[in-house]
A and B are shown apart, each in its own frame.
Chain A
């Protein structure tokens, strides 16, 4: 597989989205560069083990996420969270309000989310991945991804408006 995928083309295709995802998680340029570099380094060493060409993108994002978690050296539990009615508690955030913010503020708000919400929400907004791909990348069931997204997006919007968190703590956390 590694042989059939040109390394330079692969880097050209994915280094940008991977960096944006890494930066969403780390909010640090050097750390993000290291994560992306490490991801491609692992690809160079182990990419040949991947048999399905269509899984390259998912493989890269998964690897980056694993490296991020490994770097954090923190155990994270991934409980399944049932869908709840989050939208009802969602404050009305106008596009104008959002447009007044910059990327750093949005990422700062993302950083305040519980850790289990950060990666799916970042992948969601980067729009490079479908729900199934996000589930594959994070190695959790699709239902869990959707529940985390629902709650993560709702919580992010709350933070962006500066309103007090009205969201109940997710179960099992």
Chain B
């Protein structure tokens, strides 16, 4: 390292810093100790550097800057905190409205269960109905129902086959057709009453809540006693006024 190289390196030397530990600077400093001319230059340079550095460190920091930074940050945190609180409150309100909506609006109950089907069919039988076809001919009834695309391939219990058929109608259930076959039990009917025993036949897949098995299930629905059973792909509902015995004799 020559003198000029050493000067170049010593340009980076700052007084009272760890700069002297830099290997290159340490080597240049060692040279300065051996080179009187370089030592003189170094002494002047250090003084000069100190003086220039002092000018930089004289830059006055505005009074109140620290407090301003801290207060601004605190205000910013308060704003953020308020925003978070608002977001939380909004979320709570939305959840509340959601919960209210769940309780306010009634749940859509299933409308295709066996109980509803039974009620609906019994209501048809009791409220007064008009038969679409009045006939005592079971074959005509099947033909008519087939033409109306209502279930017509039903299987009647032997006892029911002996009951007097008087006609039929086509009713609806879950956008499908229900065959209503009207019979007479043999009792004397009130004037205007065409029948007192009704059989409803529908596709069994349209009614939920069916119990397993083909055996008739008896239940009282309104004024009627009903027997409900399945056979093949059909659900049968037979209803008449009276007790269970009144209907058993047709099964």
Listed in ascending order, the chain A residues whose CB lies under 8 Å from chain B are 7-8, 11-12, 15-16, 19-20, 23-24, 29, 33, 36-37, 40-41, 44, 83-88, 90, 92-95, 98-99, 101-103, 105-107, 122, 124-127, 130-131, 146, 149-150, 153-154, 156-157, 160
How far apart are the CA atoms of A39 and B12 in the complex, in Å?
28
Pairwise interchain contact A41-B58, C-beta atoms closer than 8 A: no
B187-205 vs A: 1/0 string, CB under 8 Å?
0000000000000000000
Which of B10, B62, B76 is the one whose CB lies under 8 Å from A33? B62
In the complex formed, the residue of A with least CB distance to B17 is A127
Rounded to whole Å, the gap between the CB of A5 and the closest CB of chain B is 13
Question: Do B22 and A131 touch across chains, with their CB atoms under 8 A apart?
Answer: yes
In contact, B4 and A103 (Cβ under 8 angstroms): no
Q: Which residues of B contact A146 (CB under 8 A)?
A: 12
Contact for A98 among B11, B14, B55, B70, CB less than 8 A: B55
Interface contact B11-A40, CB-CB below 8 Å = no
**Interface size counted on chain B using CB atoms at 8 A:** 36
Q: Are A36 and B65 in contact (CB under 8 A)?
A: yes
B48 pairs with A7, CB closer than 8 A: no
Q: Min CB distance, B10 to chain A, in Å? A: 7
Residues facing A in B1-20 (CB within 8 A) are 4-5, 7-8, 10-12, 14, 17-19
Interface centre among B12, B49, B56 (most CB of A within 10 A): B56
Q: Is B245's beta carbon under 8 Å from chain A?
A: no
Distance of B188 from chain A, by nearest CB (Å): 93
- Would you call A99 and B51 a contact (CB within 8 A)? yes
The answer on a CB contact under 8 Å between B8 and A37 is: no
Interface of A is mostly: helix
> Residues on B close to A: CB < 8 A?
4-5, 7-8, 10-12, 14, 17-19, 22, 44, 47-53, 55-59, 61-62, 65-66, 68-70, 72-73, 76-77
Secondary structure of the B contact surface, majority rule? helix
Would you call A95 and B47 a contact (CB within 8 A)?
Answer: yes
| Inter-subunit contact A101/B55 (CB<8 Å) | yes
CB of B7 within 8 A of CB of A87, answer yes
Q: Which residues of B contact A149 (CB under 8 A)?
A: 11-12
Most buried by B among A12, A131, A156: A131
Interchain CB contact (< 8 A) of A83 among B8, B10, B44, B52: B8
Residues of A with C-beta under 8 A to B12: 124, 131, 146, 149-150, 153
The minimal Cβ–Cβ distance linking A94 to chain B, given in whole angstroms, is: 7
Q: Do A87 and B8 touch across chains, with their CB atoms under 8 A apart?
A: yes
Closest to B46 in A: A95
Can you list 12 A-B pairs with a CB-CB distance of less than 8 A? A7-B70, A19-B59, A36-B65, A88-B7, A102-B55, A103-B59, A125-B53, A127-B53, A130-B17, A149-B11, A150-B8, A160-B52
Across the interface, which residues of A come within 8 angstroms of B53, CB to CB? 125-127
A125 to B51, CA, bound (A): 10
Q: Within the assembled complex, what's the spacing in Å between the Cα atoms of A44 and B72?
A: 11
